[in-house]
């Protein structure tokens, strides 16, 4: 019985941690979006948001944000993602 309680405690702990992390990431994304709302034509803000999305594995959204960064920067060449 003590072994199964440990597994249950670990599951509850990771579940709480997951919800906490999702909350933090949600808040971080809201900060990014607020920055874009304040300066929607800032290539730096679009690139930062694109990096954020890319780090989360949200590649299609990241590519769209990179495209906007390039557009507002006047550079339509694709970004160098190899580094």
pLDDT by 10s per residue, the chain, length 83: 455 445 555 555 677 777 888 889 999 999 999 999 999 999 999 999 999 999 999 999 999 999 999 999 887 655 565 44
Q: What is the CATH number of the domain that holds 41?
A: 1.25.40.10
The verdict on residue 82 lying in a domain is no
Using alpha carbons, list the distances in angstroms from residue 81 to 43, 44, 58, 63, 78.
Answer: 17, 16, 14, 11, 9
pLDDT at position 18: 79
Using alpha carbons, list the distances in angstroms from residue 23 to 45, 46, 47.
Answer: 22, 22, 23
The verdict on residue 78 lying in a domain is no
What CA–CA distance (Å, rounded) separates 76 from 70? 5
What is the extent of the structural domain holding 54?
Answer: 2-73
Cα atoms in the Cβ-side hemisphere of radius 13 Å centred on 73: 16
């Amino acid at each position: 019985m003590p072994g199964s309680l440990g597994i249950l405690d670990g599951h509850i702990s990771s579940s709480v941690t997951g919800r906490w992390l999702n909350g933090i990431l949600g808040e971080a994304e809201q900060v990014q979006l607020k920055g874009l709302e304040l300066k929607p034509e800032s290539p730096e803000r679009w690139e930062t948001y694109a990096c954020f999305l890319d780090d989360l594995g949200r590649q299609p959204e990241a590519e769209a944000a990179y495209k906007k960064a390039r557009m507002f920067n006047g550079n339509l060449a694709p970004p160098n993602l190899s580094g």
